[in-house]
Amino acid sequence: MIYFDNSATTRPCDEVIKVINDDLTGDNWGNPGSLHKLGMISSKAYDKALEECSRVLGCKPMELIFTSCGTESANTAILGFMRANPRKGKTVISTRTEHKCTLESLKFLSESGYEVKYISVGHDGKPDLDELKSCMNDDVALLCFTHVNNETGSILPLKEITDIRNELCPSASIYLDCVQSLGKLPISLNKTGVDMASFSGHKVHGIKGSGLLYIRESVKVSPLIIGGGQQNGMRSGTQSLPLASSMSVAMTVAEKERESAYDRVSKINAYIRSELIKREAVINSPSDALPFVLNVAFKNFQSETMLHCLEIYDIYISTVSACSSKTKKTSYVLENMGIERAVSANSVRLSFSRYNTMEEAKRFIEAIDEIYSLYEVKVR
């Protein structure tokens, strides 16, 4: 099997599987909120996982909240911030190429009386910074952006955006979706200038059901889940040590192998990109995109056709984002980048991980050639 769909989810690494098994079968199965010995053992391990996550992300442990996924983190950050800060303003700025969890949160705000301004993006997927500047005023409370786009790999010009915020509207906060950048780009939250950020465990060889939300110490956010007051009242409910430990271990291993993985994947991406261009494929990902994502359109092939053709060879890719694939046939991300609909309809996403190899890349190209031959697609 060749798995090139790592932006959708990743295979849990051995270290994650081990720590979950240890937590479920050892002495760590107690409730971290209990005052007896078993509770204290679990609580201590839970705090250790939190501290390790904060070390990787460059922030304080008290600024992190374990959640169930990136979507919950995004919902809490965006909706909870606006609810907790009514005097900061009623305007939010974002783009239409954000992940669905952000777009649906913004839609909810818009239907609730807030003004959401969507600035355009270029063919490179980056926000129009001049347009951003023109939108900044005293009523802007929040900026919502994605660090790395999950469909194209486009990298946000974060420093330029924080500089614009600091100069024109310093009271506005910034929420950053870091789901696709975690473990692939260096992240030091206390140096980025962002106020909130979301993360997901199953994108970095952790497990589904694990996520993180960063909230800068000085930022007010209302919780979406209330009850027993766990996690400093920001997310009530009994803490899950296996989920926290798995998130911590997944992040630690990903950070340890980040530079070597980046180098390996860069070579894989460059090889596949160059070979596909020879075969008259259209590359939608910008040249400076994160190498872990490659969006491409194949000549004379609808995206689903190519997906299922490759599946015959036990090669797995995706069409649009997994969160949109059940309801939409073409990518709203590509459409908002100005990609022609005919190209968008033929586009698929290859997304790599640290476990992919150059041998797999070569076998992928061989499969493409066989598919082209079968369908009698001619290239120069």
Q: Which residues are catalytic?
A: 323
HEC letters along 93-133: EECCCCCHHHHHHHHHHHHCCCEEEECCECCCCCECHHHHH
Question: Any idea what DSSP says for residue 304?
Answer: H
Separation between Cα atoms, residue 57 and residue 50, nearest integer Å? 11
At 263, which helix (H) or strand (E)?
helix 258-278
Sort 379 into a burial class: Cβ within 10 Å, 0-12 / 13-18 / 19+: exposed
Q: Which amino acid is at 29?
A: W
Separation between Cα atoms, residue 248 and residue 209, nearest integer Å? 13
**Length of the chain in residues, anyone?**
380
Separation between Cα atoms, residue 376 and residue 213, nearest integer Å? 50
Separation between Cα atoms, residue 64 and residue 214, nearest integer Å? 5
